[in-house]
């Protein structure tokens, strides 16, 4: 009887409960330290119990991605540019909450159903805005991962493995002296960002600004192509 009671104490395992626990664990400790074994331990369960609900670790990660993508706001009504811009910025907020997700999405070789649904509704917004399927197609490629709210920042000091990066503000972004000597041009743009006179955000790059800068650069270019009736047939 006490044995029975102990067993019943925990909510029964379910795919959903496993995925939620996995997302929480990856958020806290980073995805590289998420293992079937310590996920099971977190759930108070023997490792093999997970395999009743997920086929293997790859399928677990797929499920985790779907949980994250489901957090993105549904599309708004209104003109295509505004709707897509808002949705992408929402996606960005979601991915900031789950720093492991961008890399996880990229490392899958096939998109998950939730990602496909997200992409589909984005194409839908373009077509509703009068885009030809031709232009919509190229636009989707051009947006790349940015459509899902992330871009790989090649010199992003904040993307520390594991840590839930968004929380800790950047320290002053000046390059250490020996780096500045080797890479004078990087030093110049880093310094420009740090000591930008009327910048309210303080030292370091304002990631939100950079993201919106790139996003609007793309959206403005796309709008121009759309307005001009761009076609891929023998044009470029």
Partner DNA sequence: ACCTGAACACCGTTCAAGT
**6 binds a copy of itself per the rule CB under 8 A:** no
d(CA 114, CA 62): 9
The 8-class DSSP code of residue 2 comes to: H
Tokens representing 213 are: 């800068």
What does 180 interact with, of DNA, a copy of itself, none (CB < 5 to 8 A by kind)? none
**24 binds a copy of itself per the rule CB under 8 A:** no
Q: Which is nearer to a copy of itself, 20 or 138 (CB)?
A: 138
What does 235 interact with, of a copy of itself, DNA, none (CB < 5 to 8 A by kind)? none
Q: By the criterion CB under 7 A, which residues form the site for DNA?
A: 33-38, 46-49, 51-52, 56-58
Cα 144 to Cα 71, 108, 138: the distances in Å are 20, 15, 10
Do residues 216 and 86 make contact, with C-beta atoms less than 8 angstroms apart?
no
| Residues 6+ away with beta carbon under 8 Å from 178 | none
Q: Which is nearer to DNA, 15 or 137 (CB)?
A: 15
Q: Which is nearer to DNA, 35 or 157 (CB)?
A: 35
What does 48 interact with, of DNA, a copy of itself, none (CB < 5 to 8 A by kind)? DNA
What does 117 interact with, of DNA, a copy of itself, none (CB < 5 to 8 A by kind)? a copy of itself
List the one residue out of 64, 56, 127, 123 whose CA is nearest residue 98. 64
d(CA 143, CA 50): 37
Q: Which is nearer to DNA, 35 or 231 (CB)?
A: 35
Do residues 122 and 84 make contact, with C-beta atoms less than 8 angstroms apart?
yes
Distance of closest approach, residue 20 Cβ to a copy of itself, in angstroms: 24
List the one residue out of 158, 170, 72, 171 whose CA is nearest residue 118. 72
Q: Which is nearer to DNA, 37 or 97 (CB)?
A: 37
Do residues 161 and 30 make contact, with C-beta atoms less than 8 angstroms apart?
yes
Tokens representing 135 are: 């232009």
The 8-class DSSP code of residue 171 comes to: P
Site for a copy of itself in 95-154 (CB under 8 A): 103, 105-107, 109-111, 113, 115-117, 119-121, 123-124, 127, 132-134, 136-138, 140-148, 151-154
Site for a copy of itself in 143-202 (CB under 8 A): 143-148, 151-155, 157, 159-161, 179, 182-186, 188-193, 196-198
Tokens representing 120 are: 């589909």
What does 49 interact with, of a copy of itself, DNA, none (CB < 5 to 8 A by kind)? DNA
Q: How many CB atoms lie within 10 A of CB 14?
A: 11
What does 35 interact with, of a copy of itself, DNA, none (CB < 5 to 8 A by kind)? DNA
Figure out which of the listed residues 61, 83, 222, 226 binds a copy of itself, where binding follows CB under 8 A: 222
């Amino acid at each position: 009887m006490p044995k029975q009671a102990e067993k019943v104490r925990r909510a029964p395992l379910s795919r959903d409960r496993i995925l939620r626990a996995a997302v929480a664990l990856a958020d806290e400790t980073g995805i590289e330290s998420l293992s079937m074994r310590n996920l099971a331990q977190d759930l108070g369960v023997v490792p093999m119990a997970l395999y009743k609900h997920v086929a293997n670790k790859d399928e677990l990660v797929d499920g985790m991605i779907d949980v994250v993508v489901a957090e993105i706001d549904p599309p708004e009504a209104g003109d295509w540019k505004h709707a897509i811009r808002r949705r992408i910025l929402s996606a960005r907020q979601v991915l900031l909450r789950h720093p492991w997700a961008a890399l996880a999405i990229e490392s899958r070789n096939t998109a998950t159903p939730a990602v496909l649904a997200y992409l589909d509704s984005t194409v839908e917004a373009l077509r509703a805005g009068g885009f030809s399927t031709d232009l919509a197609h190229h636009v989707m490629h051009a947006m790349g991962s940015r459509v899902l709210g992330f871009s790989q920042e090649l010199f992003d000091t904040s993307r520390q493995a594991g840590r839930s990066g968004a929380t800790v503000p950047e320290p002053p972004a000046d390059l250490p002296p020996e780096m500045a000597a080797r890479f004078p041009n990087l030093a110049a743009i880093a310094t420009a960002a740090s000591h930008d006179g009327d910048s309210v955000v303080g030292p370091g790059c304002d990631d939100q600004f950079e993201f919106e800068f790139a996003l609007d650069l793309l959206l403005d270019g796309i709008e121009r192509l759309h307005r001009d009736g761009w076609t891929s047939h023998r044009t470029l």
